[in-house]
């Protein structure tokens, strides 16, 4: 016999992702199972409940709230207090109450297995219905316009429930109890297939769209957070036509396949990759190509990888059912450099001339959310782009701070809002180089502010005075502004997501960042924390001939490094790109280098990778950002480090400087001796690792700090990151990398936000 149970009543406040994920019905069922009475409701802060019953039952109930929470829920803080008994019978879900805003809206999710089964069950009333959803799945962030998350504050507000749906909505035992986007073919949104003029095409929209795709036509498909352009990935002519119409040369196109087996048929998939592919977030995962994959070479030329995702919505499942396609290309529906289209009028206008037809529907998208892109690194996702499925999931900071809006830099834009100890990164915005993407940044920031009910007291921005994001922060937010140095922000972002406090060595390998000394930084060794930093080491600086033109034309960087290594003799080298220039163009380029006209000094690591890629004949001129470095990594994976290149580290101007000129000279010798380019690429990666380890060792000797954070866009390179992590660890360092936000500028706002939040306006 156990002790006689006494009764008690508790009041429980829960925050985290607990709205729109079936949390109240879950509490209801849990309370019933334990024979408890009381009530539960949504508040702007999350979920509030009171429960009364035996003490043991209450204890078990509390444990199970965390252990058995619904699949899409993330239980944050859970505060339970004992209150006086009030009696009563039964457990009720009551109307939403008021309170301080702390709720966290859920991300978008693919359909759950229950809904998927119904979707393909001819006896189900939602058989082949593209808007099937329940409390465990479906769109959320992209359709919510305010908090509390209830149907009137979603884009489903205009679809009154039919009697059958209403009874599901009101039945606490039903999987669709209070599922806000609930719909059926009787009362919900419908698909249409229209031409570029918006006129309906005859026939069943889905069947006709599938027929067009099978014929090699291009169809714009409205997905969860915007439009994709779809085409049969096995049809090379069709894929080439898509590239021509979209004016996209080489950049790999993402594909969608029906399931994990479909992915494994065209690419190598390990167990972690298959988990990420099949998870409710449905990111694009970079996977190594299978050589015999029946995919048109035009999909991902010059790349060893495919970007693959599984269906992210019922429409996608229906398009890919029955093995009709090995894979569909699913690339963002935008003109290059414009944000992804998400409204029907915008899609028709932007994509006219690209898409042959548009598969649209009347469920609105409240905010555009592009696809997420990841690769797996050491069993964790390494985000190249953090967006749909992950946004607005919070990153928990090491401590609470004032609310800050951080606006990022220029490339891979994303903003960040903080509330107490939570940081909310926005979806991927794109490169902030035109007004359309800037407006998208403003919209995304507003959307997050409204959903999270955050009123920031500070705005953080990059130090670059000409970035559109900087001007936005200074001119349009009306908030006290804090400028944050680019690479300090990278360091802080990596420290914040790893919840580090105190001095840390930052190895920040990046493309471009504004240096306070007026030069372009990017191969940096910082020592610092959130409060400040010291530049303790850097790559040797060389001219960036022609400024931004040198980013688009890596051969210019090869020439610049050869000039640094050999002087005058560099101009006689048979460098691809250089040799094709006219005499006049060559004279101009020599002037740029010799007289430093329009050639700012840079220590950029990304530009060093560009230079080596051009030198090895990988790519002299690029058609998308990072192309040369990406292709150099792919080449290096095919090779073996054949020799150790010399990389001297010297003390200069009070910091450690890594000189790459001897390596460039050695590469030129190897080229002349016909060494395999793949082996040279591998040796170069190894040399970058050794140089970084050497500098970190000197900094540890000086400071006693044995902790290193790796950040910056170059760490999207898995070969380099793996090599550097391993070598630093065997040398006794503790190494921290990014797992929650991208190492590139897509994660920068997190670092800006914590630096501004810790330092107020006096950085
Ligand atoms: Zn479902
Ligand atoms: Zn209905
Ligand atoms: Fe950066």
Confidence of residue 99 (pLDDT cuts 50, 70, 90): very low
- 483 and 515 assigned to the same domain: no
Domain boundary among 93, 123, 153: 93
CA of 62 relative to ligand 1 center, distance in Å: 26
Q: Which residue has the tokens 């229950």?
A: 114
Q: Does 667 lie in the same domain as 713?
A: yes
Of 655, 627, 644, 411, whose CA–CA distance to 524 is shortest? 655
Q: Which ligand is nearest to the CA of 462?
A: 3
Cα(752) to ligand 1 centroid in Å equals: 37
Distance 264 CA to ligand 1 centre (A): 25
* Closest of 15, 6, 27 to residue 85, by C-alpha: 6
Closest listed ligand to the CA of 489 = 3
- Number of the ligand closest to the Cα of 184: 2
- Given a contact cutoff of 8 angstroms between Cβ atoms, the answer to whether 530 and 759 are in contact is yes
In contact, 510 and 487? CB cutoff 8 Å: yes
In whole angstroms, give the CA distance from residue 630 to residue 576: 18
CA distance 441 to 428: 9
Closest Cα partner for 176 from 103, 128, 123, 124?
Answer: 124
**Ligand 1 centroid – CA 310 distance (Å):** 16
CATH value at residue 45: 3.30.70.100
| CB hemisphere CA count around 542 (13 angstroms) | 28
d(CA 54, CA 9): 9
C-alpha of residue 547 to centroid of ligand 2, in Å: 59
CA distances from 396 to 281, 499, 549 (A): 19, 8, 39
**Distance from residue 173's CA to the centre of ligand 2 (Å):** 18
Measured in angstroms, how far is the CA atom of residue 183 from the centroid of ligand 2?
5
Dist. CA 294–CA 547, nearest whole Å: 42
Residue 113 Cα, ligand 1 centroid: separation in angstroms?
7
Give dist(CA 688, CA 605) in Å, integer.
9
> What is the residue whose two structure tokens read 């069947």?
207
Q: What predicted TM-score, i.e. pTM, was given to this entire model?
A: 0.91
Say how many residues make up the chain: 763
Q: What is the DSSP letter of 151?
A: G
In a domain, 411, yes or no: yes
Q: Would 245 be classed as within a structural domain?
A: yes
- 400-447 tens-digit pLDDT: 999 999 999 999 999 999 999 999 999 999 999 888 899 999 999 999
- Model confidence at 511: pLDDT above 70: yes
CATH of the domain at 594: 3.30.420.40
Question: Residue 503 corresponds to which tokens in the numbers above?
Answer: 């001095």
One domain, residues 514 and 643: yes
DSSP string covering 549-575: HHHH-HHHHHHHHHHHHHGGGGGGS--
CA of 279 to the centre of ligand 1 (A): 14
CB contact at 8 A, 378 and 722: yes
Q: Tell me the CA–centroid distance for residue 118 and ligand 1, in Å.
A: 9
Which pLDDT belongs to residue 617?
Answer: 93
Q: Quickly tell me which residue has 């409390």 as its tokens.
A: 135
CA distance 571 to 410: 34
Question: Is the per-residue pLDDT at 477 higher than 90?
Answer: yes
Number of domains in the chain: 4
Distance 155 CA to ligand 2 centre (A): 16
Residue 759 CB partners (closer than 8 Å, separation 6+): 482, 530, 531
For ligand 2, the distance from its centroid to the CA atom of residue 125, given in whole angstroms, is 9
Task: Examine the domain organization and report whether 337 and 197 are in the same domain.
Answer: yes
**pLDDT band, very low/low/confident/very high, at 583 (cuts 50, 70, 90):** very high
Kindly identify the ligand whose nearest atom is closest to the C-alpha of 515.
3
CA of 49 to the centre of ligand 2 (A): 30
Span from the CA of 430 to the centroid of ligand 1 (angstroms): 31
What are the pLDDT digits (tens) for 666-687? 999 999 999 999 999 999 999 9
Give residue 480's pLDDT. 95
Q: How confident is the model at residue 100 (pLDDT cuts 50, 70, 90)?
A: very low
Say if residue 738's pLDDT is above 60.
yes
DSSP letter string, 337-395: TSPPP-SHHHHHHHHBTTBSEEEEESSPPSS--PPPEEEEETTEEEEEE--TTTTTPEE
- Token look-up 């959130």 returns 530
Kindly give the distance from the C-alpha atom of residue 189 to the centroid of ligand 2, in angstroms, as a whole number.
10
pLDDT surpasses 90 at 93: no
Q: Which ligand is nearest to the CA of 159?
A: 2
- Is residue 3, in this structure, part of any structural domain at all? no
pLDDT of residue 453: 87
Q: Is residue 37 part of a domain?
A: yes
Residue 224 alpha carbon to ligand 1 centre in Å: 15
**Cα 451 to ligand 1 centroid, rounded to whole Å:** 23
DSSP H or E segment with residue 205: helix 205-214
Distance from Cα 366 to the centre of ligand 3, integer Å: 30
Give distance in angstroms: CA of 720 to centre of ligand 3.
17
Per-residue pLDDT for 137 more than 90?
yes
C-alpha separations of 501 from 358, 484, 494 in Å? 51, 18, 11
CA distances from 703 to 488, 503, 517, 534, 697 (A): 18, 9, 24, 12, 10
Between strands 404-406 and 458-462, the pairing is parallel
* CA 135 / ligand 2 centre spacing (Å): 15
Centre of ligand 3 to C-alpha 385, Å, is 14
Q: Would 697 be classed as within a structural domain? A: yes
Among 52, 71, 93, which residue terminates a domain? 93
**Cα–Cα distance between 549 and 585 in angstroms, integer?**
13
Residues 455 and 564 reside in one and the same domain: no
Ligand 2 center from residue 212 Cα (angstroms):
30
How many Cβ atoms from other residues are within 10 Å of residue 601's Cβ? 17
- Rounded to an integer, the average pLDDT of 323-337 is 91
Query: How far is ligand 3, taken at its centre, from the CA of residue 274, in Å?
Result: 30
The answer on pLDDT for 462 being more than 50 is: yes
Answer yes or no: is pLDDT of 103 > 80.
Answer: no
Q: Is residue 684 part of a domain?
A: yes
501: number of Cβ within 10 Å: 11
Tell me the CA–centroid distance for residue 413 and ligand 3, in Å. Answer: 11
Question: Which of 16-25, 55-64, 482-491, 632-641 is predicted with the least confidence, judged by mean pLDDT?
Answer: 16-25
Percent of the chain with pLDDT over 70: 98
Radius of gyration of the chain (CA): 28
Per the domain annotation, does 387 fall within a domain?
no
Rounded distance from Cα 538 to ligand 3 centre (Å): 15
8 A C-beta contact, residue 492 and residue 527: no
18 CA to centre of ligand 3 in angstroms: 34
**Distance from C-alpha of 534 to C-alpha of 503, rounded to nearest angstrom:** 10
CA of 697 to the centre of ligand 2 (A): 65
Can you tell me the distance from the alpha carbon of 423 to that of 642, in angstroms, rounded to the nearest whole number?
45
Q: Tell me how far the alpha carbon of residue 677 lies from the centroid of ligand 2, in angstroms.
A: 62
Answer whether the bond into residue 485 is a cis peptide, omega within 30°: no
Q: What's the CATH number where 418 sits?
A: 3.30.420.360
3-state helix, strand, coil in the chain (%, to 5): 35, 25, 40
Ligand 1 (ion): residues with CB under 5 Å are 112, 115, 134, 136-137
Q: 159 CA to middle of ligand 2, Å? A: 9
The sign of the dihedral angle between the CA atoms of 295, 297, 301, 302 is positive
Ligand 2 centre to CA of 169 (Å) is 10
Q: Which ligand is nearest to the CA of 510?
A: 3
In the reported structure, the alpha carbon of residue 148 is separated from the centroid of ligand 1 by a whole-number distance in angstroms of 21
| Lowest-confidence segment of 142-146, 713-717, 741-745 by average pLDDT | 142-146
Identify the pLDDT of residue 78.
93
Pair (542, 434) in one structural domain: no
DSSP conformational letter for 224: S
pLDDT category, 334, cuts 50, 70, 90?
confident
H or E segment and range at residue 17: strand 7-17
Cα 577 to ligand 3 centre (Å): 27
Q: Which tokens belong to 511?
A: 């493309």
Q: What is the pLDDT of residues 121-135, one digit of tens each?
A: 999 999 999 999 999
Counting ligands in written order, which one lies closest to the CA of residue 714? 3
Ligand nearest to the CA of 135: 1
Band (pLDDT 50/70/90 cuts) for residue 761 is low
Give pLDDT, residue 71.
Answer: 82
Q: Is 274 helix (H, G, I), strand (E, B) or coil?
A: helix
In this model, does residue 333 exceed pLDDT 80?
A: yes
User: How far is the centre of ligand 3, averaged over its atoms, from the C-alpha of 328 (Å)?
Assistant: 33
Task: Please tell me the distance between residue 606's alpha carbon and the centre of ligand 3 in angstroms.
Answer: 10
* Gap from CA of 619 to ligand 3 centroid (Å): 22
**Rounded to 5 degrees, what are φ and ψ at 62?**
-65, -45
State in Å: Cα 333 to ligand 2 middle: 30
pLDDT of residue 101: 54
Query: What is the distance between the alpha carbons of residues 763 and 572, in angstroms, rounded to a whole number?
Result: 48
pLDDT per residue as tens digits for the range 32-87? 999 999 999 888 788 999 999 999 999 999 999 999 998 888 898 999 999 998 88
What is the domain range of residue 456? 394-499+743-759
197 with 272, same domain: the answer is yes
Q: Which ligand is nearest to the CA of 21?
A: 1
| CA 427, 528, 518, 684 torsion-angle sign | negative
- Decide: 491 and 508 in contact? Cβ < 8 Å: yes
Burial 683-694 (b: 16+ CB within 10 A, else e): bbbbbbbbbbbb
26: Cβ contacts below 8 Å, ≥ 6 apart: 68, 69, 70, 73
CA of 409 to the centre of ligand 3 (A): 8
Are residues 287 and 425 both part of a single domain?
Answer: no
DSSP 512: E
For residue 340, report the distance from its CA to the centre of ligand 2, in Å: 31
CA–centroid distance, 343 to ligand 1, in Å, is 25
Is 147 part of any domain? no
Distance 412 CA to ligand 2 centre (A): 40
Ligand nearest to the CA of 711: 3
Number of the ligand closest to the Cα of 118: 1
State whether 481 and 571 are in the same domain: no
Residues 660 and 602 in one domain: yes
How far is ligand 2, taken at its centre, from the CA of residue 166, in Å?
A: 7
- Cα–ligand 1 centroid distance for 312 (angstroms): 13
Same domain (yes/no): 233, 324:
yes
**123 CA distance to ligand 1 middle (Å):** 17
Query: Are 470 and 522 part of one and the same domain?
Result: no
Report CA torsion sign: 500, 448, 454, 482.
positive
- Shortest CA distance to 514 belongs to which of 492, 491, 483? 483
- Please determine, for residue 763, whether its predicted confidence score (pLDDT) is greater than 80: no
Q: What is the DSSP string of 662-714?
A: HHHHHHHHHHHTT--HHHHHHHHHHHHHHHHHHHHHHHHHHH---EEEEESGG
Q: What does the mean pLDDT of the chain come to?
A: 93
Looking at 93, 114, 148, which one is the last position of a domain?
93
Local confidence band at 2 (pLDDT 50, 70, 90 cut-offs): very low
Higher pLDDT, 710 or 149: 710
Ligand 1 centroid–CA 548 distance in Å is 48
The CATH number of whichever domain residue 308 belongs to comes to: 3.90.870.10
């Amino acid at each position: 016999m156990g002790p006689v149970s006494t009764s008690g009543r508790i009041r429980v406040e829960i925050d985290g992702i607990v709205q729109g994920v079936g949390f109240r019905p879950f509490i209801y069922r849990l309370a019933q199972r334990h024979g408890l009475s009381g009530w539960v409701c949504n508040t702007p802060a999350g979920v509030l409940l009171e429960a009364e019953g035996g003490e043991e039952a209450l204890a078990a109930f509390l444990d199970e709230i965390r252990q058995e929470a619904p699949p899409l829920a993330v239980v944050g803080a859970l505060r339970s207090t004992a209150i006086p008994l009030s009696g009563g019978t039964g457990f009720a879900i009551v109307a939403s109450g008021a309170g301080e805003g702390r709720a966290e809206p859920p991300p978008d999710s693919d359909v759950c297995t229950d809904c998927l089964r119904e979707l393909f069950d001819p006896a189900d009333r939602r058989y082949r219905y593209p808007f099937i959803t329940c409390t465990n799945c479906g769109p959320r962030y992209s359709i919510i316009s305010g908090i509390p998350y209830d149907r009137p504050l979603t884009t489903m507000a205009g679809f009154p429930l039919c009697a059958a749906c209403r009874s599901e909505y009101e039945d606490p035992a039903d999987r669709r109890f209070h599922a806000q986007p609930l719909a059926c073919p009787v009362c919900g949104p419908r698909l249409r297939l229209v031409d570029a003029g918006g006129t309906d095409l005859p026939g069943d929209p889905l069947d006709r769209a599938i027929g067009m795709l099978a014929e090699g036509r291009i169809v714009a498909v409205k997905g969860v957070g915007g439009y994709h352009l779809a085409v049969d990935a096995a049809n090379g002519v069709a894929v080439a036509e898509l590239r021509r119409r979209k004016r996209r040369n080489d950049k790999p196109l993402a594909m969608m396949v029906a399931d994990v087996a479909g992915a494994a048929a065209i690419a190598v998939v390990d167990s972690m990759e298959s988990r990420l592919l099949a998870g409710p977030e449905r990111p694009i995962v970079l996977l190594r190509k299978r050589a015999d994959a029946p995919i048109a070479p035009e999909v991902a030329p010059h790349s060893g990888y495919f970007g693959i995702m599984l269906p992210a919505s019922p429409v996608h499942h229906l398009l890919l059912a029955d093995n009709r396609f090995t894979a569909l290309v699913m690339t963002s529906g935008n003109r290059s450099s414009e944000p992804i289209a998400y409204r029907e009028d915008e899609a028709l206008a932007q994509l006219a001339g690209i898409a042959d037809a548009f598969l649209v529907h009347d469920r609105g998208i409240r905010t555009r959310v592009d696809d997420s892109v990841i690769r797996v690194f050491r069993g964790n996702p390494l985000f190249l782009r953090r967006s749909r499925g992950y946004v607005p999931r919070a990153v928990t900071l090491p401590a609470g701070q004032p609310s800050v809006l951080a606006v990022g830099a220029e490339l891979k834009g994303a903003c960040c809002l903080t509330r107490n100890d939570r940081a909310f990164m926005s979806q991927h915005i794109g490169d902030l180089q035109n007004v359309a993407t800037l407006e998208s940044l403003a919209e995304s920031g507003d959307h997050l502010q409204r959903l999270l009910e955050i009123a920031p007291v500070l705005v953080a921005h990059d130090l670059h005075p000409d970035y559109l994001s900087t001007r936005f922060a200074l001119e349009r937010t009306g908030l006290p502004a804090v400028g944050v140095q680019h690479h300090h922000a990278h360091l802080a972002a990596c420290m914040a997501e790893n919840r580090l406090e105190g001095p840390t060595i930052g190895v920040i390998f990046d493309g471009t960042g504004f240096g306070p000394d007026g030069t372009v930084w990017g191969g940096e060794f910082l020592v610092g924390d959130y409060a400040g930093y010291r530049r303790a080491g850097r790559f040797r600086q060389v001219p960036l001939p022609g400024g931004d033109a040198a980013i688009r034309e890596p051969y210019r960087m090869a020439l610049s490094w050869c000039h640094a290594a050999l002087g005058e003799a560099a101009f006689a080298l048979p460098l691809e790109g250089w040799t094709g220039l006219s005499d006049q163009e060559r004279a101009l380029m020599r002037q740029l280098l010799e007289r430093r006209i329009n050639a700012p000094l840079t220590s950029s690591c990304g530009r060093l990778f560009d230079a080596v890629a051009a030198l090895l004949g990988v790519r002299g001129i690029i058609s998308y950002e990072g192309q040369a470095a990406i292709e150099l990594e792919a080449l290096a994976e095919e090779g073996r480090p054949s020799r150790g290149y010399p990389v001297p580290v010297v003390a200069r101007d009070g910091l450690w400087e890594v000189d790459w000129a001897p390596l460039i000279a050695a590469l030129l010798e190897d080229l002349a001796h016909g060494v395999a380019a793949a082996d040279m690429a591998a040796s170069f990666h190894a040399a970058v690792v050794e140089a970084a380890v050497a500098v970190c060792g000197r900094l540890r000797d000086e400071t006693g700090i044995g902790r290193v954070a790796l950040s910056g866009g170059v760490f999207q390179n898995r070969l380099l990151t793996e090599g550097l992590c391993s070598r630093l660890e065997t040398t006794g360092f503790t190494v921290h990398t990014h797992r929650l936000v991208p190492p590139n500028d897509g994660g920068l706002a997190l670092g800006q936000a914590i630096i501004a939040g810790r330092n107020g306006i006096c950085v």
